[in-house]
Amino acid sequence: MINNFVIDETLIQEALALEDHPSIEAMLEKALREYIQRRKCLKILELFGTVDYDEIYDYKAQRNVL
């Protein structure tokens, strides 16, 4: 897929300086993967406090089943 983007050259140079990438495309792909991973983590964090659990559940009892 070919796309034309206008991206601040300073940002590109700073990103390239932080890590050795074989190309700008490789750097952008890694940046997008990291962005997606971060957003997924944030969505998981939003779930904290929303899951109900059984207060009398004994997780240690499961260890003694065998």
Q: What is 2-66 written as a DSSP string?
A: -------HHHHHHHHHHS--SSHHHHHHHHHHHHHHHHHHHHHHHTTTT----TT--GGGGGG--
Whole-number pLDDT of residue 44: 92
Residue 15, token pair as written in the block: 């990103």
Distance CA 47, CA 36 (A): 17
Whole-number pLDDT of residue 65: 66
Residue 31, token pair as written in the block: 């940046």
Regions of the chain short of the pLDDT cut 70 = 65-66
**The model's pTM:** 0.66
Average pLDDT, the chain: 89
